[in-house]
A = this chain, B = another copy of it.
Amino acid sequence: MFNPFMAVSPTVPADPSPDLSFSSVFGLLKPQMSELDCFLRLQLEAFEPEIRSMVDYCIDTSGKRIRPALVFLSGWRNEPVVSPDLIKAAAVVELVHLATLVHDDIMDSAELRRNRRTAAREYGAAAAVLLGDALFSHALNLSTQFPTTEVCRAVSDSMRKVCAGEIVQTLRRGTTNVTADDYRRIIDLKTAELFHLSCYLGSHLAGYSESFVSATSRFARRLGSAYQVYDDLADFFGNEQQIGKTLGTDLASGKLTLPLFALSARLPEPSRVQLFEEIQGRRPPDFAERLGQMKELGVFQIVEAEIGQELAVGEAELALHAGEPPTARLLRLTDVLRGQVARLKP
C-alpha cells in the first residue's frame, strides 16, 4: 500500500527519460520542496526530546513527496514568493502520509523502504505504532495553526477515511469474496483521499474560487485512483530494478487488485479456481504463471484502459478552468502517469 514513488530518489539511478517522470514536473517546485524540507526539519523541535531521533529517521528526504507537490501545484500562483501556508499544508499531508507508511510497514512486516530499514524494523513494531501516532498527532497540531478549524477538519476527515480504506483492505486480504467495485472503493479511500486533500488544501489556501477548489479536488481524486491502479499494475509488469521493490507482493499477500480481477474474469474455470486458492493462501502463488496468463489474455491493455479513463475523467474536471495557473501544471501529471504506464507495457 502507499508505495513510494518509483522514479528518482537520491540513492537510486536517475530516470533515463525525464520527460516521462514525475520529477520532470516536480523540477519546477525546487524552491518549494527545499523550503518544505527545512520546515519538516524544524518540526523535530515540536516532539519530545526522547523521540526526536526516531521522528528524524521517518522524515527522510528521499521520498517523492507527491502529495506536497499536489499542494504546491494546485495552489500555484504566478508569483516568485513561496507561500508559508502552502509549505505548512504540504508538511501536514506529508506527515500524514509518512505516518501511514510507518503503520503500513508494521502490517506488511516490511524490512526496507527507500533502501533503508523501516521504522518497525529499526525500533520494533510497538514503538513504530506509537511513532506513527505521534506523526499523526503532529500533523493535526500543525493543522490547528491555520486561523480557522477548516484545515484541521479536512485533515482529520481524510485521515479517518484513509484508515478505513486500509482496514477494509486488511480485512479482505486472503479472501476472494471481494468485487472490483470493493477494490475501487478501497483505493478511493486509501490513496485517492489524500491526493484529494492535497489539492483541496493547496487551491483553497491559495485563495482560488470555490468552484476551482472543488475541480482540483475532484481531479486529484481521479489522479490518485489512477496512480494506485498503475502501482498495482507495476506489481506485475514492473521491472524490479526500476521500481525498487519486489514484484508479485499483492498476489503473495492475497490482495486482489485490478490486474487480478481482470485476469480472473478471463480465466477458464479450473485456472480461476487455482488463482483463488493462491489468493486464499491454500496454494503457493505462481507469479510467473499468472503473469504469463495476464500477457496472453491482454490484462495489461484492460487495466491501462481503466487508468486512461480515470485520467480522462480527471482532466475533464479541469476543462472549465483552463485559464487558471495551476491547471496546465496539474494536467502535466496525467501525461506523466500515462507515460509511466506505457513504459510498463509487455
Contact with B along A125-156 (1 / 0, CB 8 A): 11101111110111011011111110011011
- Is the C-beta of A266 less than 8 angstroms from some C-beta in chain B? no
CA A153 – CA B148 in complex, angstroms? 12
**Given the contacts A50-B168, A167-B127, A171-B123, A133 and B159 also touching, CB distance less than 8 Å:** yes
Q: Which of B54, B136, B152 contacts A167 (CB 8 A)?
A: B54
Asked if A126 contacts B170 (CB within 8 A), the reply is: yes
Residue ID in chain B nearest A136 by CB atoms: B136
In the complex, whether A181 has a CB less than 8 A from a CB of chain B is: no
Task: Tell me if A160 counts as interface (CB < 8 A to partner B).
Answer: yes
Expressed in whole angstroms, the minimum distance between the Cβ of A328 and any Cβ of chain B is 34
**Is the pair B136, A166 in contact by a Cβ cutoff of 8 Å?**
no
With an 8 A cutoff between CB atoms, is A20 at the interface?
no
Supposing A141-B156, A170-B126 touch, asked if A164 and B51 sit within 8 A by C-beta, the answer is: yes
Instruction: Please state if B50 and A164 are interface contacts (CB–CB under 8 Å).
Output: yes
Q: Are B153 and A144 in contact (CB under 8 A)?
A: yes
Docked CA distance A127–B163 (Å): 9
- Bound state CA distance, A152 and B159, in angstroms? 15
| CB atoms of B103 and A167 under 8 A apart | no
- Could you tell me the distance between the alpha carbons of A124 and B171 in the complex, rounded to whole angstroms? 9
Please name all residues of chain B whose beta carbon is closer than 8 Å to the beta carbon of A136 when the two chains form the complex: 133, 136-137, 159
CB distance from A281 to the nearest CB of B (A): 14
Cα A47 to Cα B145 with chains together (Å): 26
Tell me how many chains of this kind the complex includes.
2
Q: Kindly provide the distance from the CB of A191 to the nearest chain B CB, expressed in whole angstroms.
A: 14
**Which secondary structure characterizes the binding site on chain A?**
helix
* CB-nearest residue of chain B to A150: B144
Q: Point out the residues of chain B lying under 8 angstroms from A106, CB to CB.
A: 126, 129
Provided the pairs A107-B129, A141-B153 are in contact, do residues A51 and B134 lie with their beta carbons within 8 angstroms? no
Residue pair B167, A131 in contact (C-beta under 8 Å): yes
Pick from A107, A156, A167 the residue with the most CB of B within 10 Å: A167
- Inter-chain CA distance A152–B123, complex, in Å, is 29
Shortest CB-to-CB span from A196 to chain B, Å, is: 15
A144-B167 contact in complex given A107-B126, A161-B48, C-beta closer than 8 Å: no
Contact of A143 among B126, B129, B152 (CB under 8 A): B152
Structural contact, A137 and B149, CB atoms closer than 8 A: no
CB pairs A–B below 8 angstroms (8 shown): A46-B160, A48-B161, A51-B168, A103-B129, A133-B133, A137-B163, A141-B157, A143-B152
Not counting A99-B133, A130-B163, a sample of 12 additional A-B residue pairs whose C-beta atoms are within 8 angstroms of each other reads A48-B189, A127-B167, A129-B129, A133-B136, A134-B160, A134-B164, A136-B159, A140-B152, A143-B152, A147-B149, A148-B149, A149-B152
